[in-house]
């Protein structure tokens, strides 16, 4: 699925990897037409570096693994380190189109063990005492969506109180309709439609919204 030209480019990026990264992938044999493609994509990625591995689970058959990570949809990708620590980073749906670049950047972030956020954002997130869930609804053809997903994932990596997920709106239309997603990217906070952010906003603006919701 990855062209030879892209393989070469990804190998060059993956030369920057420092620590192992594990992709825990949840698939299903029921009503998941893209599950096979996503597994193939992840498998090809692992062939490009020894520091990346993928573990494949069935969201229904591997019930204990799914429950421990609170995964009930497929396809779902959970990014962890080699100790299988869950940072609350999720891809619900295929990381296709522009979102493939987001997956690569997340792998680099996880390997560096560094969110890359500013010192101010780190210090503010360190004061959180309430959970904030960020669901970023996207489509593969949206050029602005990766920035919104990337920022949500950086926040999740930095703080145990934050969970950040990409949700591919066309793969989960019922989910998108529930939160009245008519344009992307749209970030829903704590599953409350009125607590949402439209568009790809700067780091400081998302931080302000997260702190407001958490308080």
Q: Which segments of the chain have a pLDDT < 70?
A: none
Domains of the chain plus CATH, in order, are 4-112 (3.40.30.10), 119-214 (3.40.30.10)
Q: 35-57 pLDDT, tens per residue?
A: 999 999 999 999 999 999 999 99
User: How confident is the model at residue 194, as a pLDDT?
Assistant: 93
pTM exceeds 0.95, yes or no: yes
Q: How far is CA 19 from CA 24, 159, 163, in A?
A: 16, 20, 22
User: How confident is the model at residue 185, as a pLDDT?
Assistant: 98
Task: In whole angstroms, give the CA distance from residue 112 to residue 153.
Answer: 14
User: How confident is the model at residue 179, as a pLDDT?
Assistant: 96
Structure tokens at 11: 């190998």
As a three-state string, the secondary structure of the chain is: CCCHHHHHHHHHHHCCCCCCEEEEEEECCCCCCCHHHHHHHHHHHHCCCCCEEEEEEECCCCHHHHHHCCCCCCCEEEEEECCCCEEEEEEECCCCCCHHHHHHHHHHHHHHCCCCCCHHHHHHHCCCCCCEEEEEEECCCCCCHHHHHHHHHHHHHHCCCEEEEEEECCCCHHHHHHCCCCCCCEEEECCEEEEEEECCCCHHHHHHHHHHHHC
Q: 176-195 pLDDT, tens per residue?
A: 999 999 999 999 999 999 99
């Amino acid at each position: 699925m990855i062209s030879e030209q892209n393989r070469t480019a990804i190998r060059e990026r993956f030369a920057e990897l420092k620590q192992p990264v594990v992709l825990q992938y949840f698939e299903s044999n029921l009503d998941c037409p893209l599950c096979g493609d996503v597994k193939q994509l992840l498998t090809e990625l692992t062939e490009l570096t020894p520091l990346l591995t993928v573990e494949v689970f069935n969201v229904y058959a591997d019930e204990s693994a799914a429950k421990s990570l609170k995964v009930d949809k497929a396809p779902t990708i959970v990014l962890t380190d080699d100790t299988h620590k869950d940072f609350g980073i999720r891809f619900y749906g295929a990381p296709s189109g522009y979102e493939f670049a987001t997956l690569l950047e997340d792998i680099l972030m996880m390997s560096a063990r560094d969110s890359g956020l500013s010192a101010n954002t780190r210090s503010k997130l360190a004061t959180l005492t309430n959970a904030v869930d960020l669901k970023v609804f996207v489509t593969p053809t949206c050029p602005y969506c990766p920035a919104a997903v990337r920022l949500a994932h950086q926040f999740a990596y930095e703080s145990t109180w934050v969970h950040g997920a990409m949700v591919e709106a066309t793969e989960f239309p019922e989910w998108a309709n529930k939160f009245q997603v008519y344009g992307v990217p749209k970030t829903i906070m704590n599953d409350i439609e009125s607590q949402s952010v439209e568009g790809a906003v700067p780091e400081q603006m998302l931080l302000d919204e997260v702190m407001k919701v958490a308080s």
